[in-house]
A = this chain, B = another copy of it.
Amino acid sequence: MLFGKNFSDHMFLMNYDENKGWHDPRIIPYQTLSLAPSTMVFHYGQELFEGLKAYRTKNGEIQLFRPEKNIERMNNTSRRLCIPEIDPSDALQAIKEIVKTDSDWVPHEADHSLYIRPFIIATDPFIGVKPSSTYLFMIILSPVGSYYPEGINPVKIYVENEYVRAVKGGIGASKAGANYAASLKGQDKAKHLGYTQVLWLDGVERKYIDEVGTMNVFFVIDGVVKTPALEGSILPGVTRDSCIHILKSWGYKVEETRVALQEIIDASRNGKLNEAFGTGTAAVISPIGTLNNGGEEIIINNAEIGPIAKKLYDTITGIQYGEIKDEFGWTLTV
C-alpha cells in the first residue's frame, strides 16, 4: 500500500473568515476543491500541514498518538504564517470525528495505519502580498502500509554543503509547506548521488547538524544520546519528543544541544559513535548506516540497526498499537 496516494471516503472541512472566525465544521464525501486561479495559496505558499496516524489495536479499537502535540504545533505554525489559530479542542474533535466516520479505513494488518493529514490553505482570490483574510482547514485520510515491509534497513545519508533548508529567524521550526519546497533540491541531489536522505546543516555557520531529510536526528556517542536543540530552525517533532522522554525514562543521558558535524566525524574515527537515527511520524525510527561528508563515508554501527534505535522503535510502535502499556498517557482511543 503506497503512502499518500489513496484516500478515504470522507474529508473534514472548516472555513475561516474575518467576520465569523473559524466556522461551518463539516464532514463531506472526499471530493475535488474548486478554487479560483488567483487563490492565494497558489501564489504565496501560505499553507501548513500536520501529520499523525490512527492505529488499530489487537482488540479492534482505534488509537491516536499524542494528537494534542500536532495540534499545538499546527497553531505554532499558524502564528508564524499569520494564519488564525484553531481552538485545540475543536481541532481534536475534528480529527476524532473524521477518523470515526471512516473508521473502516483504519487497516487491520500489522504495522499498517491510517495517516491523518490536517492542513490549512489561504483562500482569498487576491494576488496582493499580504496574509489572506479567508482560509480552509481540511483533514484527509490515507491508509498506509508498513514502512519497513522487509525489516528495518539503515539508510545512507548525504551531508549537504550547498543548499540550506532553514535558518534561525526563518520558518524552519514551522510545519509550513514552504520548508518542504525549499528542501526538494537538496533531497533530489542526494538521491541522484545514491543516498536516501540529505543531512541538513545550519544556515549560519554550516557546521551544526539540523535535521535529516524530513526527520529529526539522534546520535549516540559513548553511551550519551545527543540531538540538535530546538533553536528556531528545527522542526519540533512529536517522535523526537517521545524518544527523549522514553530514553530518559530508561536512564539514558539525553542532551539537546548543538551537534557539530565534526563532533560526529571525530566520534566515528575514535570508535565512539555507537548509533545514529532519524525520527519521524512516517518511519518512527530510521537508523543511519552511512554518512557521506564531502566524499568521505562514515559507516555507523556496521550499517546495522543499533540496540537503542531498535528498542525505541519497538517501544513507540508497541505503545501506538496498544501492545505495550502506555505509561506516558500518550494514546487516545477514538
Contacts and interface: CB of A to CB of B under 8 A. Distances in A.
A177 B181 contact: yes
Contact of A42 (B7, B41, B80): B41
A5 interface: yes
Contacts of A47: 42-43, 45, 181
B131 A184 contact: yes
A32 interface: yes
Contact of A37 (B30, B130, B167, B204): B30
B178 A119 contact: no
A214 interface: yes
State how many copies of this chain the complex holds. Answer: 2
Contacts of A34: 32-34
Contacts of A30: 37
A282 to B, nearest CB: 9
Contacts of A45: 45, 47, 176-181
Nearest to A184: B82
B119 A42 contact: yes
Given A45-B180, A178-B177, A187 B127 contact: no
Interface of A: 3-5, 7, 11, 30, 32-38, 41-47, 49, 80-82, 115, 117, 119, 121, 125-131, 138, 140, 142, 162-171, 176-185, 187-188, 203-204, 206, 214
Given A43-B180, A127-B140, 4 more contacts: A43-B49, A43-B117, A81-B181, A171-B181
